[in-house]
Structure 1
Amino acid sequence: MKKITLLPLALALVANLSMAANSVDLSVTGTITPAACDIALAGGDFDFGTINTSDLSAGSTTTLPDLDAGHSLSITCSAPTQVSFRLIDNRLSSRPSGSSNDSLGFGVDGSNNPIGSYRIWAGSLLADGEGAYLKATNCGGCNWFTAGLPSELVRPLNSYAYAIDPISNGFSAPIPITNASATLAIRNATIQPASSLDTSTDITLDGAATIELVYL
């Protein structure tokens, strides 16, 4: 008897049977993403032009004129979105000692001396084509309050954010919007006393800030 040949045949039969399938799984997949928003600035850079050293006070700060015409912030979303924005000072380390915590830095001169500071103000708000209100939170959205207009945008704090809201209820969270805008102005700009600056060469005002969207 050649029983030895029956074992491989049996194993092959079992293997073939194990490869047979009576059902198949079907997967249905996709990705749901939040509506996207764009933020833009119109009006170009804020430019104080050329300031003569002789126009600077030697022993005290010099106040510069306000720049409050022709600049605006706009937010456009692909669908109604609950969104806010925050201000980031890219020259924070140059803010002069003793200046307001709400001020932003103008950068430093050739000898690394702080040049001065300025503040950003917002006004004339619109949301979805209607007059709107500026709401703020200082706790990442745990509560909200309405700021008067024009309103100074507070120096960057991680938990501080603003929203342009068509609803006047002062303490309610901002509602979703599709588009919003606000005029922007530079005010309270000051230059440090000339005696504290290196005036042997040109000094370039180098204020730089970022306005960043924060989805709620």
Structure 2
Amino acid sequence: MNLLTCLLAFAYLLAVAPLAFATSSVDMQVNGRITPGACAIALSDNGLVDHGKIMANTLHPSEFTVLPNQQMGLSVSCEGPVLFALVGIDNKRESSAAPDFFYGLGMNIHAPGERLGSVSLSLRGPVGDSQSLQTLTSHDEGATWAPEPYAYPGLFMGFARVGDTLPMPLRQLVASLRVDTSISPANGLTLKEQVPLDGSITLELRYL
């Protein structure tokens, strides 16, 4: 083998060597969370708010008609002390005139472009593990918290001792969930036929 052939062979080995060893190792990650125990969330009345029949001629023509508020029991039960938050998810978000503050009440089935109204949620009198608590709200998924009883769509709701600014782990929580419903001004609605109210909200429990 002459010198030129040797040099060409050595250059070839240098060229293919990086390819031969480029995939000799690979990294992996194993993620997850160990929690003290699973939690279950429940609402009284099977989570149903029924305003019954509302006569069209009782609705205000140019302002929202506020219906009598209703309250239902909210409970969270965990196998052990768990740090969690509740998040309200609006399943009718497109029907809300202010989706960052109010949940939608559905669209008029006889006039699909008409929003029927809004729903507001708030948590009252929370008690956790036999002590009075306050409701905290986070706009940044748990990075910061501030006292706030209203359960705005998409925000985290945690629970803490009165005066504290960080949520605490809880085993048991009970509270009253107040539901305030308002119907849109009647002069903007087509009410020649029966119109069903169709609000739908999911309360989701998330582990922190």
- If you compute each CA radius of gyration, which structure gives the higher value, 1 or 2? 1
Q: Percent identity?
A: 25
**Aligned partners of 1:199, 1:169: CA distance in 2, in Å?**
48
Please tell me whether the aligned partners of residues 144 and 170 of structure 1 are also in contact (alpha carbons under 8 angstroms): no
Alignment of 1:180 onto 2:173: yes
- TM-score, structure 1 as length reference: 0.74
1:191 is aligned, of 170, 177, 183, to 183
**Aligned partners of 1:75, 1:179: CA distance in 2, in Å?**
6
Q: Matched residue of 1:43: which SS?
A: helix
**Number of residues paired by the alignment?**
173
Alignment of 1:43 onto 2:45: yes
Using a 3 Å threshold, how does the CA distance of structure 1 residues 93 and 100 change in structure 2: closer, same or farther?
A: closer
Please tell me whether the aligned partners of residues 86 and 212 of structure 1 are also in contact (alpha carbons under 8 angstroms): yes
Please give the root-mean-square deviation of Cα atoms over the aligned residues, in Å: 1.9
**Aligned partners of 1:152, 1:144: CA distance in 2, in Å?**
13
Q: Matched residue of 1:152: which SS?
A: coil
Map Cα deviations across residues 33-65 of structure 1 (whole Å, 9 max, x no partner). Answer: 422111111133111111001111233322222
Q: C-alpha displacement at 1:32, in angstroms?
A: 8.1
Please tell me whether the aligned partners of residues 64 and 190 of structure 1 are also in contact (alpha carbons under 8 angstroms): yes
Using a 3 Å threshold, how does the CA distance of structure 1 residues 43 and 154 change in structure 2: closer, same or farther?
A: same
Map Cα deviations across residues 90-118 of structure 1 (whole Å, 9 max, x no partner). Answer: 1110013xx47311110011211110112
Structure 1: gaps of 5 or more residues: 1-30
The letter of the residue matching 2:128 is: A
Deviates more, 1:99-108 or 1:173-182: 99-108
- In the other structure, the counterpart of 1:101 is 100
2:59 is aligned, of 53, 56, 61, to 56
Q: Matched residue of 2:57: which SS?
A: helix
Map Cα deviations across residues 103-150 of structure 1 (whole Å, 9 max, x no partner). Answer: 111001121111011201110111012211212222112122223xxx
Alignment of 1:144 onto 2:145: yes
**Aligned partners of 1:209, 1:192: CA distance in 2, in Å?**
19
Q: Matched residue of 1:198: which SS?
A: coil
**Aligned partners of 2:63, 2:126: CA distance in 1, in Å?**
36
More strand by share: 2
Structure 2: gaps of 5 or more residues: 1-31
- TM-score, structure 2 as length reference: 0.76
Q: C-alpha displacement at 1:155, in angstroms?
A: 2.1
- In the other structure, the counterpart of 1:88 is 89
The letter of the residue matching 1:170 is: D
